A and B are shown apart, each in its own frame.
Chain A
Amino acid sequence: MSELINPLHRFIRPGVTSTTNCPGCGNGIVAQAILRAIDELSMDLDDCVFASGIGCSAWVPSPFFNADVLHTTHGRPIAFALGIKMGLPQKKVMVVSGDGDLAAIGGNHLIHNARRNVEMTVICLNNSIYGMTGGQAAPTTPMGLKTTTTPYGAYENTFDISNLVIAAGASFVARWTTYHPRQLTASIKKAIRKKGFSFIEVITQCPVQYGRKTGSGSAVEMLREYKEKSVSVKEAAKLSEEDLQDRIIVGELIDKEKPEMVEEIMKMKKRASGENS
C-alpha cells in the first residue's frame, strides 16, 4: 500500500518530524496557507527567504520551512529582512511573526518599512496575546480582558495593526482569520506578487494562553467566534462605527501602486554612477 503524503510535505525541512505548537493552535493553519500560496504560484521555496522574530508565531518558518530562514531577535525580523532584500532583490522575502513581535517591540521597523514600501511580505499572526511567554497582555489585547499581566482587566486601548500599516504607507494590506484559510491563501498569493510592502494580519487562535486563560474557550469555540464576528470590508462600509465594535473586518483593505524603495535605489544608483548620462 502506498503511503499518503501531503503534497505540501515537500516544503517541510527534512528531519523535522514534530511541531512545538499546542494542539488547536492557529499557527498550523497559517503555515499551511503560506505553503499552499507558494505552491499555487508554482514557486519553489528557494525563490523565497524567510525571516521571523521571537514567539510561537515566529516558529512557523523556523525550522519547518525547507528554505533559507533567519530566525532573529524579538521584534526585529523586518529590520533584518530589509538587509536581506537589499542583498537579494530578486528573491521573495517573507516575514512571519506575532502581534507582540511586530506591533509592540518591533513597531518602529513595521511602520518605517511600510512607509519605505520595501518589497516584502509580512504575515502577522495576531492572537491578541503573548503566547510564548505565557499569556501576557499585548497591544492587541482587548480592553478589560484578564491576562497574566492584567489580572484585573486590560486597561489600554488596542492597536488596529492593519490600519496602522495602511496609515504608514504599505501598498497591500489584508486581514483574515484562521476561519478563512482559502481567502487567506488567495491574499498571500497577491501579497507575494505585489511590488511593494504587503502586510497580512491573520487573527489566529491561541487556545492555551488566550482561550483557556481568558475563558474564550477551545480552538473550535474560538474559530466559531471568528466566523460570527467577521464582516467583509464591503459590508463593513455600510455599518456604523458602533455596529462594528467587536467585529472583525476581513478582506483586502488596501491595494495600491506607489514607488517601491529597492527599485528607487536602483534608479538612484544609475543616476549617481552616471550610467544614464
Chain B
Amino acid sequence: MKGKRILTGKYFMMGNTACAEGAIAAGCELAAGYPITPATEIANRLAERFPQVGGVFLQVEDEISAIAAIIGASWTGKKVITATSGPGISLMLENIGFAVGVETPCVIVNVQRGAPTTGMPTAGVTGDMVQVKRGSHGDYEIIALCPSSPQEMFDHTVLAFNYAEKYRTPVFILSDAFVGHMREEVVIPPPEQIETVYRKLPEPGTDPTQIKGFLDEDVAPMPIFGRGFKAHVTSSCHDEYGKRNLSDVSALDHFVRKLSNKILKHKDEIIRVEKNYQDAEVVLVSYGAVSRAAAMAALRAGEEGLAVGTFRLITAWPFPEEEIEKMARKAKKIIVLENNLGQLYPYIKAAAAHYADVYFLPPRVLGEIHDPENILKKIREVIQ
C-alpha cells in the first residue's frame, strides 16, 4: 500500500483535512458525498487518501443518495462517513431518521455555513444546531459534537466514530466554516494511542430467529448483512427482532421510547463539557469556534479583576442540562454566546434560569467571530 493509514506526526493542517484524517484513523472505509462549500475539502481529501489505504469515496447524485449509501454500507459492517453543509443536511433528514430508527452507526459532518437557503456558503454561522436534533420527523435522540479547532476536527471525528459504533446511532460533527477552513497545528498520535471501538455483533452461527437485533436500551448486537443473520431491517415500526408491527400503538410507544432511552440512559458517558468557572460571578457559555473568543474575553476580564469563567459544550446533544444546572447554581450571571440568533439559548436558559440571570449575545454581525472586546462590554453591563 502506498499510503500510511494513520499519518502520525505534527502538521499545520486545515480543519476539514484533519476531519478526513480522523475518519481514516478511526477505521472508516467508505464515504459518500456531494460537493458543497465549506465542507468539500473533506471529500477531496478522502477521495485522494482512501484508495491508497483500501477505502472508497463515492461522489453520488445528491445528498439523499450520500446518506443512503453510507447507511447501506454500514449495514455491511463498514464504518462510514458523509460530510456536507446545511443544504445537504436538509436533503438528508428523512434518511437520518431512518438511520436512527434502524440503529445504524454513521458519522455525519455538517460544516455549517450562512443560511437559510443557499445563504452565504463561505460564512461560518452555526445555524443548524437544533436541526440535527429536531430536523427529521418524530421524537428521537442524537449525538452531536462541536469542535473548536482543527485538532478537535481530528479528535472529535475519532470520538464520533466510537460513539456511533458503541450506541449504533448517527453522530454529528457540528463544525462551521471557521473551524473547517482554519489552519492550525494538528497532532496525529501513533496508532496505539488512538482508541477505536467497533459495534457489537451477534455471535456467529446464532439462530437468526433468536437474534434480538433492535431496541435494546443497552444497545442490541447489530445483525449486519452477509453473515447469515437474515436480518429484517425495516423503517416501519418494529420489535426487538425487527418484526414489523403497524397495528398496535403500544408497539410504537415501545419503538420510540427504546430508541430514545438508548441514548438518554447513557448520556453521562456521552456528554462532554469543558468547565472553567470556579469562583466566577459571570460564566460565558459557548461552543465551537465561539468558545475561542469566550476564552479570550474571560482572560481579559480576569486582567481587569472581574471573576469571569467559561463553560463549553463539547456535545450539544444529548444536551448537558444537568451540567448547566450545576454551573448555574454557582454563577450569578450567565452570558450565552452563539454565532446565530440564539439556537441553544432557549435550552440553556431553561436549565439555568431558575438559579442565575441568563443573557444572550450574538456577534455584532452574524458570520463574524465574536469580538472579545464586545463580550467584555456585555460582561461589564450585566455585572452592574
- A residues at B contact (CB < 8 Å): 13-15, 45-46, 49, 51, 54, 62-63, 66-73, 76, 79-88, 91, 108-109, 112, 265, 268-269, 271-275
B228 contacts across to A, CB distance below 8 A: 46
Say yes or no for B266: interface residue by CB 8 A criterion. Answer: no
Q: Give residues of chain B (223-269) contacting chain A, Cβ–Cβ below 8 Å.
A: 225-226, 228-236, 243-244
- Cross-chain contact of B73 among A54, A73, A84 (Cβ < 8 A): A84
A272 contacts across to B, CB distance below 8 A: 2, 51-52
Q: State A271–B62 Cα separation when bound (angstroms).
A: 27
B280 CB, min distance to chain A CBs, angstroms: 48
Contact B78 A14 (CB under 8 A): no
A271 contacts across to B, CB distance below 8 A: 51
B32 contacts across to A, CB distance below 8 A: 83
Say yes or no for B209: interface residue by CB 8 A criterion. Answer: yes
Q: Tell which of A82, A112, A271 has the most Cβ of chain B within 10 Å.
A: A82
Total A-B pairs, Cβ < 8 A: 143
- Cross-chain contact of A88 among B2, B51, B76 (Cβ < 8 A): B76
Contact B68 A83 (CB under 8 A): yes
Say yes or no for B281: interface residue by CB 8 A criterion. Answer: no
Q: State A85–B75 Cα separation when bound (angstroms).
A: 11
Q: State A275–B76 Cα separation when bound (angstroms).
A: 25
Q: Which residue of A lies closest to B62 (CB)?
A: A108
Say yes or no for B98: interface residue by CB 8 A criterion. Answer: yes
Contact A49 B226 (CB under 8 A): yes
Give the segment of B53-61, B127-135, B158-166, B306-314 that binds chain A: B53-61
Contact B78 A87 (CB under 8 A): yes
B342 contacts across to A, CB distance below 8 A: none
* 0/1 string, B70-94, CB within 8 A of A gives 1: 1111111110100000000000001
B49 CB, min distance to chain A CBs, angstroms: 9
Once A62-B244, A83-B73 are accepted as A-B contacts, the answer to whether A76 and B226 lie under 8 Å apart by CB is: no
- Cross-chain contact of A86 among B56, B230, B236 (Cβ < 8 A): B56
Q: State A108–B60 Cα separation when bound (angstroms).
A: 10
Q: State A236–B55 Cα separation when bound (angstroms).
A: 47
Contact B65 A273 (CB under 8 A): no
Say yes or no for B95: interface residue by CB 8 A criterion. Answer: yes
Q: State A272–B3 Cα separation when bound (angstroms).
A: 9
Given pairs A15-B209, A68-B231, A80-B69, 8 additional interface contacts (CB within 8 A)? A63-B234, A69-B233, A71-B235, A76-B65, A79-B72, A83-B30, A86-B30, A86-B58
B359 CB, min distance to chain A CBs, angstroms: 42
A62 contacts across to B, CB distance below 8 A: 232, 234, 244
B383 contacts across to A, CB distance below 8 A: none
Interface size bucket, B side?
A: 35 or more
- B residues at A contact (CB < 8 Å): 1-3, 30, 32, 51-54, 56, 58, 60-62, 64-65, 68-78, 80, 94-95, 98, 208-209, 225-226, 228-236, 243-244
Q: State A61–B65 Cα separation when bound (angstroms).
A: 21
B62 contacts across to A, CB distance below 8 A: 108
Contact A69 B75 (CB under 8 A): no
Contact B244 A273 (CB under 8 A): no
Closest 4 pairs between A and B when the two form their complex, measured CB to CB: A87-B76, A83-B72, A272-B51, A79-B68
Q: State A81–B72 Cα separation when bound (angstroms).
A: 6
A45 contacts across to B, CB distance below 8 A: 230
- Cross-chain contact of B56 among A15, A51, A265, A275 (Cβ < 8 A): A265
Q: State A81–B225 Cα separation when bound (angstroms).
A: 12
- Cross-chain contact of A71 among B72, B80, B233 (Cβ < 8 A): B233
- Cross-chain contact of A84 among B72, B229, B232 (Cβ < 8 A): B72
Once A91-B226, A112-B60, A268-B51 are accepted as A-B contacts, the answer to whether A76 and B68 lie under 8 Å apart by CB is: yes
Contact A79 B235 (CB under 8 A): no
Contact B68 A46 (CB under 8 A): no
Contact A73 B72 (CB under 8 A): no
- Cross-chain contact of B230 among A54, A68, A274 (Cβ < 8 A): A68
Q: State A90–B183 Cα separation when bound (angstroms).
A: 42
A87 contacts across to B, CB distance below 8 A: 30, 72-78, 225-226
Q: Which residue of A lies closest to B76 (CB)?
A: A87
Q: State A229–B31 Cα separation when bound (angstroms).
A: 46
Contact A63 B78 (CB under 8 A): no
Q: Tell which of B76, B98, B231, B232 has the most Cβ of chain A within 10 Å.
A: B232
B187 CB, min distance to chain A CBs, angstroms: 26
Q: Tell which of A14, A45, A69 has the most Cβ of chain B within 10 Å.
A: A69
Once A15-B209, A73-B95 are accepted as A-B contacts, the answer to whether A68 and B225 lie under 8 Å apart by CB is: yes
Contact B54 A269 (CB under 8 A): yes
Contact A108 B230 (CB under 8 A): no
- Cross-chain contact of B225 among A49, A72, A76, A274 (Cβ < 8 A): A49
Q: Which residue of A lies closest to B78 (CB)?
A: A87
Contact B95 A76 (CB under 8 A): yes
Q: State A159–B141 Cα separation when bound (angstroms).
A: 41
